[in-house]
């Protein structure tokens, strides 16, 4: 894992662990899923916090405290390489740390993060740690000054200008005068590990929730004549927690807009960016234009000079330079070569590879398909498990019948083939180079190069038949 540049010096002086509290139920979300697995910016909240922590210490020094739906959380984060500590019963943030005592033995310093506050940055974590070590404090808390501090614990400093903190008072216990305080407890701390565990058993459950509050450690250390200091976060949004769905959406919006701003700074035009959903790992090159109501998700990469029109959803796909994605396309796990034109309303399912300058039009569905350079499938078509060469024209309503009820089979259409409208190509089948398939054919045998395949009933024309029918109907 890469580390923040400024973390080297204090690490050599002390062993630092990061504990992430992630055991809570998230009652206020009214969800059957654990809070830390709810998503913002396209990823679970906890994944953001782990990613930031992993910039500061190796994953093996990250201890995630899990409890509510612990197995779900453990599974979702299994790839991260972090350790898990089980807090079987969730008896408060103080209790979460009590449970982690064994896992933290042997460390000098622990930084405590909240699994539900995903916007924390490695820079701020490093700043908290450095300040803590410089002040030789028992406890250091990160604070922020908020316009609307309601719901957060308030900071009681010894005096306005002092680094030293007297206590943290939770919202429910705060007096009207204390509620006016706008400096709040972010829920991120640094502790001296030996001092924390020498004093943590002094916590009590004598409060509104009947829980062990980690925040009470400030007053406990005060009484024990240990130093408690506070440092403000660089940006207040970094500390925002997501206790409610509304808070979750504020965080999501903030992350998404941040991503759009970064892309715009890199030369991408985004109209009405507040309507677009672009995941963090997405890359877009300069001079591409993204219209309103577009979603670009997962690990998608979009080249330069593309136009992504409204209502398109692109996931884990690679779109090369100069591609036009017209309105309403859905593109999943696919690859599109330069200057191809898609849509409106094309559906590229996984494994679609659309060649340079190719066209895929209205209501065309592709799956596991290679469409060659300059080939066209413009209307109402299904191409599945097919290899289509260059310069091929697929007529409207063409269907590759790739499934026989048990297995999938491949259709091969070589360069320069013309498939007439409303044809069904029953796989496995191969249409040789330059061949023609007559409209409305059902092709069940291979077609050789340059041949014409005609697989339909011959037309019968009965002169005067319709007129005679109408007359008969009038008489009856």
Binding residues for ligand UD1, rule: CB under 6 A, are: 21-24, 35-36, 65, 67, 87, 90-93, 95-96, 114-117, 152-153, 168, 170, 184-187, 213-215, 241, 243
285: partner contacted, choices ligand UD1, Ca ion, none (Cβ within 5-8 A by kind): none
Surface-to-core class of residue 206, CB atoms within 10 Å of its CB (0-12 exposed, 13-18 middle, 19+ buried) = exposed
Judge contact between 321 and 285, C-beta under 8 A: yes
State the residues that interact with Ca ion by CB under 5 A: 116, 241, 243
Q: What is the closest distance, in whole angstroms, from the C-beta atom of residue 49 to ligand UD1 in the complex?
A: 9
Tokens of 82: 């972090």
Q: What is the closest distance, in whole angstroms, from the C-beta atom of residue 113 to ligand UD1 in the complex?
A: 9
Judge contact between 161 and 148, C-beta under 8 A: no
296: partner contacted, choices Ca ion, ligand UD1, none (Cβ within 5-8 A by kind): none
- Which is nearer to ligand UD1, 72 or 440 (by Cβ)? 72
Q: What is the largest CA-CA distance in the chain?
A: 112
Q: What is the closest distance, in whole angstroms, from the C-beta atom of residue 204 to Ca ion in the complex?
A: 21
372: partner contacted, choices Ca ion, ligand UD1, none (Cβ within 5-8 A by kind): none
Query: Which residue lies nearest ligand UD1, judged by its C-beta?
Result: 153
Task: Please report the sign of the dihedral spanned by the C-alpha atoms of residue 108, residue 112, residue 115, residue 119.
Answer: negative
Instruction: Let me know how long the chain is.
Output: 476
Q: Give CA–CA dist 431/435, Å, rounded.
A: 7
Residue 387, helix vs strand vs coil: strand
44: partner contacted, choices Ca ion, ligand UD1, none (Cβ within 5-8 A by kind): none
Look at residues 374, 437, 409, 438 and name the one whose alpha carbon lies nearest to residue 400. 409
- Which is nearer to ligand UD1, 87 or 398 (by Cβ)? 87
Q: Beta strand 269-270 with 324-325: parallel, antiparallel or unpaired?
A: unpaired
Q: Give CA–CA dist 260/279, Å, rounded.
A: 9
- Which is nearer to Ca ion, 239 or 296 (by Cβ)? 239
Q: What is the closest distance, in whole angstroms, from the C-beta atom of residue 111 to ligand UD1 in the complex?
A: 14
Q: What is the closest distance, in whole angstroms, from the C-beta atom of residue 24 to Ca ion in the complex?
A: 7
Active site residue 347: no
- Which is nearer to ligand UD1, 24 or 389 (by Cβ)? 24
Q: How many CB atoms lie within 10 A of CB 240?
A: 23
213: partner contacted, choices ligand UD1, Ca ion, none (Cβ within 5-8 A by kind): ligand UD1
Please pick, among 63, 68, 254, 379, the residue that the annotation labels catalytic: 379
Residues 6+ positions from 216 with CB-CB distance below 8 Å:
94, 168, 203, 204, 207
71 alpha-carbon distance from chain centroid = 21
Look at residues 343, 357, 340, 442 and name the one whose alpha carbon lies nearest to residue 401. 442
120: partner contacted, choices Ca ion, ligand UD1, none (Cβ within 5-8 A by kind): none
Q: What is the closest distance, in whole angstroms, from the C-beta atom of residue 35 to Ca ion in the complex?
A: 8
- Which is nearer to ligand UD1, 97 or 325 (by Cβ)? 97
Q: Give CA–CA dist 153/176, Å, rounded.
A: 13
- Which is nearer to Ca ion, 243 or 366 (by Cβ)? 243
Q: Give CA–CA dist 437/331, Å, rounded.
A: 29
Q: What is the closest distance, in whole angstroms, from the C-beta atom of residue 189 to ligand UD1 in the complex?
A: 9
- Which is nearer to Ca ion, 243 or 381 (by Cβ)? 243
Judge contact between 280 and 47, C-beta under 8 A: no
Surface-to-core class of residue 108, CB atoms within 10 Å of its CB (0-12 exposed, 13-18 middle, 19+ buried) = middle
24: partner contacted, choices Ca ion, ligand UD1, none (Cβ within 5-8 A by kind): ligand UD1
Tokens of 399: 């269907």
Residues involved in catalysis:
379
């Amino acid at each position: 894992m890469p580390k923040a540049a400024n973390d080297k010096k204090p690490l050599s002086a002390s062993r630092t662990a990061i504990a992430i509290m992630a055991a809570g139920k998230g009652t206020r979300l009214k969800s059957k899923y654990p809070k830390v697995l709810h998503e913002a910016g396209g990823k679970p909240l906890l994944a953001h916090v782990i990613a930031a922590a992993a910039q500061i210490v190796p994953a093996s020094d990250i201890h995630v405290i899990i409890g509510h739906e612990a197995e779900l959380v453990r599974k979702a984060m299994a790839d991260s390489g972090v350790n898990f500590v089980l807090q079987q019963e969730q008896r408060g943030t103080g209790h979460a740390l009590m449970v982690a005592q064994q896992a933290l033995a042997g460390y000098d310093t622990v930084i405590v993060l909240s699994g539900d506050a995903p916007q924390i940055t490695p820079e701020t974590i490093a700043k908290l740690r450095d300040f803590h070590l410089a002040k030789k404090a028992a406890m250091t808390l990160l604070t922020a000054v908020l316009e609307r501090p309601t719901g957060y614990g308030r900071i009681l400093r010894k005096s306005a200008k002092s680094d030293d903190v007297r206590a943290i008072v939770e919202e429910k216990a705060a007096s009207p005068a204390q509620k006016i305080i706008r400096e709040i407890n972010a829920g991120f701390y640094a502790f001296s590990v030996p001092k924390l565990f020498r004093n943590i058993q002094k916590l009590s459950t004598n409060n509104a929730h009947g829980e062990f509050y980690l925040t009470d450690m400030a007053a406990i250390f005060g009484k024990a004549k240990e130093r408690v200091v506070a440092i403000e976060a660089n940006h207040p949004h970094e500390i925002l927690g997501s206790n409610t769905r509304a808070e979750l959406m504020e965080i999501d919006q903030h992350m998404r807009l941040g991503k759009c701003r970064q892309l715009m700074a890199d030369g991408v035009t985004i109209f009405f960016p507040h309507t677009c959903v672009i995941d963090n790992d997405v890359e877009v090159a300069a001079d591409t234009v993204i219209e309103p109501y577009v979603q670009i998700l997962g690990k998608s990469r979009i080249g330069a000079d593309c136009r992504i029109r409204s209502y398109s959803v692109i996931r884990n796909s690679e779109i090369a330079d100069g591609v036009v994605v017209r309105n309403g396309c859905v593109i999943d796990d696919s690859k599109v070569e330069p200057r191809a034109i898609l849509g409106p309303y094309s559906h590229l399912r996984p494994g679609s590879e659309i060649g340079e300058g190719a066209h895929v039009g209205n209501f065309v569905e592709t799956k596991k398909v290679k469409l060659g350079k300059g080939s066209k499938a413009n209307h109402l078509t299904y191409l599945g498990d097919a290899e289509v060469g260059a310069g091929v024209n697929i007529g409207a309503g063409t269907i590759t019948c790739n499934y026989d009820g048990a297995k999938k089979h491949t259709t091969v259409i070589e360069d320069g083939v013309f498939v007439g409208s409303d044809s069904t190509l029953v796989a496995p089948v191969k249409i040789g180079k330059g061949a023609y398939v007559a409209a409305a054919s059902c092709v069940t045998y291979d077609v050789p190069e340059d041949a014409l395949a005609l697989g339909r009933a011959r037309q019968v024309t009965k002169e005067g038949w319709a007129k005679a029918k109408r007359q008969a109907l009038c008489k009856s």
